[in-house]
Amino acid sequence: MKTVKVDLRKEIDNSYEILIGSDFIKGILADFDPNATFYVIDKNVFNLYPFLRELKNKYIFETSEKSKNINSVAEILNFLKNSNCLRDSKLVAVGGGIIGDVAGFAASIFMRGIDYYQVPTTLLSMVDSSVGGKTGVNLGDTKNLVGSFYQPKAVYIDMKFLNTLSFEEYKNGLAEVVKYAVMFDESFYNMLIENYAEVEQRGNILQDIILKCCQIKADVVKEDEKEKGRRMLLNFGHTFGHAIEVDSEHKIKHGFAVATGMYLETLFGQFMKQVDSDVTDKIRIILERYGFELNYKYLDEEKFIGAIAMDKKARQSGVVLALTQKVGSGMLLKGVELNFIREFFVSLRS
């Protein structure tokens, strides 16, 4: 037998920069060639920011969790084809997490991959989904089942967009901020507790918070781009959180579901004798401080447990849960059997 190795180790440099500032995005986009740049823009954002109307090739997308599907990807691919997007063109996604995930996925498969840029406009997408190259859509009820790891060429975080974000959307993003603190950085946790009022009011501290989250995420992704290990820590709260989203038919938004998920996963860790009650208390304290609901009673047990089983983090060997045994140092609990999860949720109801 003869072997030929396709050695790709030095061929691809996926590095990119995240720029964080205020009121700079218009200037960045003005430098992009209008004939070779294609925009996928969230409808609400488009209606709120008149400068976006001046952009040439644009597809305006009305987002909801239900529209995060393969049909929307097909629509974007058709838009790119019909407006003569070429292999060396750019796609720019302007909007929240759904826009970034759907448009990023379309960019990753159009002509086998074109360059794309993220312009996140919600706190959630600024601190989490725009960074790290996870793109994709839901398949039926299963979140993010279809997708790719495809890094953007740059992420432009313009804080100006936060001025028009509803309180609910803002809070939706704060849940992910709390996640970083609890999993990776105890001093960040303390800072969020102490400066609660300024954070709530979207004060100057916000830029430092976004920077901190992006630094943590960049470090994690650098170490584990394809989520083989450490990156799974970023899924804290998401396994139960996704089940809450699905069971509530998306009436509970991602961040709120993740917040409840973080508490319940920690409580489950305690149930499994992996987490001490003082850690559970600390997680409860920060989530309560930020006004998140901690408890959830599923509507449909089979749907709820089924969503956990189908979640992409469930492997043949069982569910992998990200937990923290000490604030600031997350860990993975592997091979969790669904029976224990079922038993835990039954115990919560009694």
List the catalytic residues. Answer: 112, 134, 176, 217, 227, 231, 235, 238, 242, 254
The answer to whether 265 contacts ligand GLY (rule: CB under 6 A) is no
Q: Is the dihedral of CA 189, 193, 198, 202 positive or negative?
A: positive
Residue 128 in the binding site for ligand GLY (CB under 6 A): yes
- Find the part of the chain contacting ligand GLY (CB under 6 A) among 129-137, 152-160, 242-250, 306-314: 129-137
Stretch touching ligand GLY by CB under 6 A, among 52-60, 110-118, 124-132, 310-318: 124-132
How many Å separate Cα 69 from the centre of its chain?
16
> Toward ligand GLY, which CB reaches closer, 37 or 138?
138
- Kindly state whether residue 231 participates in binding ligand GLY, applying the rule CB under 6 A: yes
Spatial distance between the Cα atoms of 287 and 178, rounded to a whole number of angstroms: 8
One residue of 134, 242, 253, 254 binding ligand GLY per CB under 6 A: 134
Q: Is 234 in the site for ligand GLY (CB under 6 A)?
A: yes
Instruction: Identify the residue whose tokens are 């989490």.
Output: 128
Q: In terms of CB distance, is 101 or 247 closer to ligand GLY?
A: 101
**How many other C-beta atoms can be found within 10 angstroms of the C-beta atom of residue 256?**
22
Q: Are 252 and 300 contacting, i.e. CB atoms less than 8 angstroms apart?
A: no
User: Which among 17-25, 127-135, 283-291, 294-302 is the span making contact with ligand GLY, rule CB under 6 A?
Assistant: 127-135
3-state secondary structure at position 246: helix
β-partners of residue 21 are 158
How many CB atoms neighbour CB 309 within 10 A?
Answer: 14
CB of 224 to ligand GLY, least distance (A): 9
Q: Can you tell me which of 132, 136, 173, 237 binds ligand GLY, judged by CB under 6 A?
A: 132
Q: Which one of 118-126, 180-188, 227-235, 340-348 is the stretch in contact with ligand GLY (CB under 6 A)?
A: 227-235
Kindly list the distances between the CA atom of residue 181 and the CA atoms of 94, 164, 184, 256, in Å, as whole numbers in the listed order.
27, 25, 5, 16
Nearest to 49 by CA among 2, 119, 125: 119
Task: Please report how close the Cβ of residue 296 comes to ligand GLY at its closest, in angstroms.
Answer: 20
Residue 37 burial (CB count, 10 A): 20
Other Cβ atoms within 10 Å of 297 Cβ, number = 9
Q: How many chain residues touch ligand GLY (CB under 6 A)?
A: 7
Binding site for ligand GLY (CB under 6 A): 128-129, 132, 134, 227, 231, 234
